[in-house]
Amino acid sequence: MILPIVAYGDTVLRKVGATIDPTYKDLDKLIENMWETMYNANGVGLAAPQVGKAIQLFIVDTDAFDDEKYPSMKKVFINAEIMEEWGTEWEYEEGCLSIPHIREKVSRFSHLLIRYQDEQFNWFEEEYDGIAARVIQHEYDHCQGKLFVDHISQLKRRLLKTKLTNISKGGAHVDYKMRLPSNR
Ligand code: NI
């Protein structure tokens, strides 16, 4: 089932997600719905707060990047914790399904070490770099109540203010279903 994607301005996007355990109700269904929702919107990642659930869960599929340098990665991340970030800081133009039609260069570290559980709640510790690291950093931020626009300069953010307000009022035209802050 395709779920509506929460638009910028909703308080759920500002919450630190709660950790979850195997007793979390209908988790399989939620993850399945998140994949469907993400692919329907042509996303490469989606975090649970974006479908209205303030929990520590996000999904990533970098296949759409078609980057020969890095193999594509498709994974579910539960209760993730970025343990360490290092390497060169590099800029990449990020976008977000909750903030349509806005793309801004965001600077982040090139490498990270992440500890997380998969959908069977097995623990993993893995290193990532390249585009996979970038998408993980973006989605991980969502679960901490952070958005990519928090990483840009105050001046740039001020310039975006009208556009951001417009998005939260439903003014952004997208071909996927959105849930507006006033619509709750
Ligand atoms: Ni996003």
Q: Give me the residues near ligand 1 (ion), CB cutoff below 5 Å.
A: 96
Q: What fold is seen in the domain 5-172?
A: Peptide Deformylase (3.90.45)
Interval 107-159: pLDDT, tens: 999 999 999 999 999 999 999 999 999 999 999 999 999 999 999 999 999 99
Interval 151-169: pLDDT, tens: 999 999 999 999 999 999 9
- Ligand 1 centroid to 23 CA: how many Å? 27
- Ligand 1 centroid to 138 CA: how many Å? 6
The pLDDT assigned to 183 comes to 54
- Ligand 1 centroid to 99 CA: how many Å? 7
Cβ(18)–Cβ(52) below 8 Å: no
- Per residue, the 3-state secondary structure of 49-97, as one string, reads HHHCCCECEEEEEHHHHCCCCCCCCEEEEEEEEEEEEEEEEEEEEEEEC
Rg of the chain (C-alpha set): 16
- Ligand 1 centroid to 145 CA: how many Å? 11
* Averaged pLDDT, 4-22: 97
Residue 67 has pLDDT above 80, yes or no: no
Query: Would you kindly state where each structural domain of the chain is located, as residue ranges?
Result: 5-172
C-alpha–C-alpha distance, residues 45 and 140, integer Å? 10
The pLDDT assigned to 144 comes to 98
Residues pairing with 78 in the sheet? 57, 117
Chain center to CA of 178: 15
